[in-house]
């Protein structure tokens, strides 16, 4: 199951499972910033505020927050709903 575009609501749910939160301090606008605290510091990634998140932004989030297969998070684990 390769990277694919997904709904913004679903991306929020997925990232939340990995302690990636939406930074709401920036106010409302055309982009959304997601953040995660690592031992090295706080990392962020900004995406357009659109209903469908393009695959390039999903891939960027996965790389930025270390959620790639190379980091131990398979595509299947990332996309499938966790119970």
Neighbouring C-beta atoms of residue 6, cutoff 10 Å: 17
The 10s digit of each residue's pLDDT in 21-60 is: 999 887 668 899 999 999 999 999 999 999 999 999 999 9
Evaluate if residue 1 carries a pLDDT over 60. no
Let me know: does 78 contact 14? Beta carbons within 8 Å. yes
Quote the CA–CA distance of 4 and 20 in Å, as a whole number.
Answer: 19
Better-scored residue on pLDDT, 75 or 83: 75
Question: DSSP 3-state helix, strand, coil percentages of the chain (rounded to 5)?
Answer: 35, 30, 35
Q: Helix 55-64 crosses helix 8-17 at what angle (to 10 degrees)?
A: 10
């Amino acid at each position: 199951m390769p990277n694919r575009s997904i709904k913004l609501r679903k991306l929020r749910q997925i990232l939340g499972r990995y302690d990636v939160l939406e930074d709401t301090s920036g106010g409302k606008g055309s982009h959304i910033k997601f953040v995660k605290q690592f031992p090295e510091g706080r990392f962020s990634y900004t995406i357009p505020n659109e209903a469908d998140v393009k695959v390039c932004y999903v891939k960027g989030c996965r790389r930025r927050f270390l959620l790639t297969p190379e980091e131990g998070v398979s595509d299947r684990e990332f996309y499938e709903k966790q119970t």
